[in-house]
Amino acid sequence: MIEWSETMSNFTRKSTISVSCPLEMSGWLSREVQDLGFQPKNIRPTGLDLEGSLNDCIRLNFWLRTAHRVHYLIRESPRINDADQLYTWLNRMQWEKYIPSDGYLSVTSRIDHPAIDNQQFANVRVKDAIVDRIRDIKGQRPDSGPSLDRAVVFLYWDQNIARVYLDTSGESLSRRGYRTENVQAPMQESLASAILQASKWQPGHHVINPMCGSGTLAIEAAMMAMNRPPASLRHDFGFMHIQGYDESHYLGIRAEARQQTVKSPEIQIIATDRDPASVRAARRNAVTAGVDHLITFQTCPFDETPVPEGPGIVIMNPPYGERLESADHLEPLYRQLGDFLKQKCKGKTGYILTGNFKLAKKIGLRSNRRVPFFNSTIECRLLEFEIYSGSVNA
d(CA 316, CA 273): 11
Map out the domains of the chain as residue ranges.
15-167, 189-227+262-386
Length of the chain: 394
pLDDT at site 390: 62
Per-residue pLDDT band for 328 (boundaries 50, 70, 90) equals confident
Question: What are the tens digits of pLDDT across the range 18-34?
Answer: 999 999 999 999 999 99
Measured over the CA atoms of residue 365, residue 371, residue 375 and residue 376, the dihedral's sign is positive
Task: Give the mean pLDDT of the chain.
Answer: 93
% of the chain surpassing 90 pLDDT: 87
Please state the rounded mean pLDDT for residues 201-223: 95
CATH topology of domain 15-167: VC0802-like (3.30.2130)
pTM exceeds 0.85 for this model: yes
pLDDT at site 388: 85
Please state the rounded mean pLDDT for residues 256-284: 94
Q: Exposed, middle or buried: residue 136 (CB in 10 Å: 0-12, 13-18, 19+)?
A: exposed
Distances (CA, A) of 379 to 117, 211, 250: 29, 20, 37
pLDDT at site 326: 58
CATH topology match: 15-167 vs 189-227+262-386: no
- Matching CATH number, 189-227+262-386, of 3.40.50.300, 3.40.50.2300, 3.30.70.20, 3.40.50.150: 3.40.50.150
Please state the rounded mean pLDDT for residues 45-54: 97
DSSP for 58-111 reads HHHHHH-SS-SEEEEEEEEES---SHHHHHHHHHTS-GGGTS-TTSEEEEEEEE
Is 365 a residue whose pLDDT tops 80?
Answer: yes
